[in-house]
Amino acid sequence: MVLRAHIHVEASLNDLLDLVIPIPEHLPSLRYRQRVELACAMGLKPQYRSALIALGEIRNAFAHKLDSQLSEDRITKLYQAFAPEDRELLQTSYEASKSRMLVEKGPSFSDLGPRDRFVIMALVLKSALVTAVFTLRKKYGDA
């Protein structure tokens, strides 16, 4: 799940770079973190930088160590990497989802297990990148 989530986020990051870099064919040798830095340098809101890097660190742990787990510490570190307004968005979105499902009671975002919180945070990062790509395509008439 961690690797798949990361692949989806990275694909959207690559879509963004393809739109803002004149000759993206010269980018294949860049590592994920370098791509994050470049995307921020090219206009991606810097508030996503830390969370994207933290996601990459979790991905690396799972890609290189058989015993990796979504520990409470890893998930807390990822959550803390989000900008304060995005942490609020995570919780508000989760609560809105419960409300739409007509669930009156249920765990708060912070009471969810690490796996569920990871999924929500990965979705927020993916959504931010998809929105940035959509906005750029619309701006440049490629939508």
Q: Provide the total of helices (H) and of strands (E) in the chain, helices listed first.
A: 6, 0
Domain edges within the chain: 2-139
- Read off the pLDDT band of 10 (50, 70, 90): very high
pLDDT of 22 higher than 90: no
Number of Cβ within 10 Å of residue 91's Cβ equals 15
The pLDDT assigned to 29 comes to 83
User: Tens digits of per-residue pLDDT, 74-121?
Assistant: 999 999 999 999 999 898 888 888 877 766 677 889 999 999 999 999
User: Tens digits of per-residue pLDDT, 41-70?
Assistant: 988 999 999 999 999 999 999 999 888 999
CA distance 128 to 131: 5
The pLDDT assigned to 137 comes to 87
CA distance 55 to 41: 19
The pLDDT assigned to 50 comes to 97
- Read off the pLDDT band of 39 (50, 70, 90): very high
The pLDDT assigned to 142 comes to 64
